[in-house]
Amino acid sequence: MADTMSGLSRTLYCGEFRAIHENERACVCGFVQKIRDKGGIVFVDLRDRTGIVQLVFDEHSPAGLLEKAQDIRAEFVLSAAGVVRERTSKNPDIDTGDVEIAVDDLRILSRSDTPPFEILEDKLAREELRLRHRYLDLRRASMQKMLMDRHKIVKATRDYFDRHGFMEVETPVLIKSTPEGARDYLVPSRVHPGSFYALPQSPQLFKQLLMLAGCDRYMQIARCFRDEDLRADRQPEFTQIDFEMSYVNENDVMAIAEGFVAEVFDKVLGRSVELPIPRLPYTEAMERFGSDKPDIRFGLELVDLTHLLSETSFEVFAAPIRNGGSVRAINAKNAAGILTRKEIDKLVEVAKTYRAKGLAFTRLTADGSESSSYEKFLTDEEKSAIREAVKADAGDVILIVADADNSVVFDALGSLRLNLGERLELYNPDEFALLWVTDFPLFEYDEESERYMAKHHPFTSPSLEDIDSFTENPGNAKARAYDMILNGNEIGGGSIRISDPELQSRMFEALGIDEETAKERFGFLLEAFRYGVPPHGGLAFGLDRLVMLMLGRSSIRDVIAFPKVQNAGDLMTECPSPVDDKSLEELHIRTVKNS
């Protein structure tokens, strides 16, 4: 039978002990990290969320206590009381390394089986095993620090927005399905047979309704859900820092967002953010970096060669230009010694994953030798013009993508740029580079459905210049939208919303949503618009992604207590899982097995 803590009460956390506590009586609680049995003396490292303290049992301990200590194993849960004393062998690697506790009262509160892996920072088990036993993985010091830092970010968030006049309002989790964008998670209703709720992809409609309700400034730490394919920085359920403001323009919203980021970086990391954050129009971001979320910690910018090759006879370049596309390049400076022909072949495969038909290259080695996949097909003038345009020197590698679809060129070269930035170590991984991308397209054309879709969402306002013409010329219309980028990752995005009922109707029309469908999906919002709408706008930060980047983690799973894996499953609880026939019958649902 396990001991109890009767008569004991924790005085300090394990990681809080210092030399100033010598000769004090103390009581600590935690998990056993390590045991060192030296025969007549036993050392136990006791761990809690704050750190480790050493417990000592020897011949001076009360009768039977040394023998009890010798029965302890890793991950046992203990409570121990005794006197704090100076260590004879100090450990400079831990904060409590100057002291130890000579224990005179030991309680084994819970015994542990041998864990499936050692809970050590320098001996990580494979991720699948750690996720299956996530509660053990979370005992590691780095994971405890992550949870604490995430808590600090959330606390700083609430403090900041409260100080700036925002009030936190919870919005519903069971809502109406509005299939526009990512797939909804659906929840069947037992009392309304055949009908379903959806889990919110964002609180978008409700925060707009709160502006109509006169709340003026709203914020929420909101749980959101999207049934989509996962990547390292995505999860089916995630958390947003969501806010909305009335009577504002883009600059007002962006100023609040900038102040928030600056305060969080200062309070949590002790790092200053230089304000204002620079801004880059969407078109310029694509032209220079091949991405609407560029990493500006390094150069390696794209160069447009289209005008230089307008008369070329080399069909690989000529055909894309003739069909309205482009030819663009990046110059990997001083990379010829690293980018061998074999390495370039790997880059070709990277480009092809982004639909590029190939990757043309010229490799100029430092010793003056040259190799190229395309220069022999060009005139001397074209060859020289390209080298001059990209500022090529000996030791450089020129990489070129050509395609009739400009998005292919941007995607391929933008991805190659990031690949090379990491491979060639062109940036400081500890640097934080923030950027606003503005003036987004209002629409993007979806080839599969053969119609225009909202680039952000259907409630984003067209730019003031395009309000009268966006339905006639949707491909060129811009939005009053803005994204905040950190080191090549979107951490937040927002817009000024449509507040004119007539303009909202025109937006639905441009998206191919007829009046009846609009009323069915968004009738409650359209009706609310009849009763006065303050101009409003807002932004949502992805909390999980922000924490991941601030803490220097490579996967969003590292900063979520209980994450899902690639197939949206939970290895620990083994969900999703089947339910019994009675539960399905109550929900009026019948499952069908795929043949």
Q: What is the pTM of this model?
A: 0.93
127 domain residue, yes or no? no
Are 247 and 149 members of one domain? yes
Mean pLDDT along residues 522-541: 94
Do 332 and 415 reside in the same domain of the chain?
Answer: yes
Structure tokens at 48: 């809690």
Among candidate residues 401, 423, 445, the one where a domain is terminated = 423
- Domain presence at residue 187: yes
Given 385, 401, 423, which residue is the final one in a domain? Answer: 423
Residue 356 has pLDDT above 70, yes or no: yes
**Pair (378, 451) in one structural domain:** no
Residues 463 and 530 occupy one common structural domain: yes
pLDDT (average), residues 141-163: 97
Residue 595 forms part of a structural domain? no
| Range with the poorest average pLDDT among 307-311, 324-328, 432-436, 578-582 | 578-582
Position 586 in a domain: no
Q: Are residues 172 and 198 in the same domain?
A: yes
Cα(593)–Cα(197) distance, integer angstroms: 23
pLDDT tens digit sequence for 546-581? 999 999 998 999 999 999 998 889 999 999 999 998
User: Is the residue at 190 inside a domain?
Assistant: yes
CATH number of the structural domain spanning residue 190: 3.30.930.10
Asked whether residue 232 carries a pLDDT value surpassing 90, the answer given is: no
pLDDT of residue 228: 81
**235 with 213, same domain?**
yes
Confidence of residue 179 (pLDDT cuts 50, 70, 90): low
Domain match, 340 and 240 both = no
On whether both 309 and 353 belong to a single domain, the answer is yes
Tell me the CA distances in angstroms from 133 to 76, 122, 130, 137, 138, one per residue in order.
Answer: 16, 18, 5, 7, 9
- The answer on 478 and 415 residing in a single domain is no
- pLDDT tens digit sequence for 320-335: 999 999 999 999 999 9
Mean pLDDT value across residues 300-317? 97
The residue range of the domain holding 458 is 144-280+434-560
Unique residue bearing structure tokens 């006197």: 83
Considering the domain architecture, whether residues 169 and 212 belong to the same structural domain is answered as: yes
pLDDT higher than 90, residue 180: no
Residue 450's pLDDT band (boundaries 50, 70, 90)? confident
* Pairing mode, strands 237-246 and 42-48: unpaired
The CATH number covering residue 330 comes to 3.30.1360.30
CATH code assigned at 58: 2.40.50.140
- At 123 the pLDDT is 86
Q: Mean pLDDT score of the chain, rounded to an integer? A: 95
- What is the per-residue pLDDT across 406-427, written as a single tens digit (0 to 9) for each? 999 999 999 999 999 999 999 9
Tell me, yes or no, whether 83 lies in a domain: yes
Domain count for the chain, please give it.
3
Residue 517 lies in a domain: yes
The dihedral formed by the CA atoms of 498, 503, 504 and 508, expressed in degrees to the nearest 10: -130
85 pLDDT above the threshold of 90 = yes
| CA-wise closest residue to 115 among 42, 34, 61 | 34
Quote the pLDDT of residue 231.
67
Is the residue at 591 inside a domain? no
| Percent of the chain residues topping a pLDDT of 90 | 87
Looking at the fold, whether 193 and 266 belong to one and the same domain comes out as: yes
- Asked if residue 153 and residue 37 are part of one domain, the reply reads no
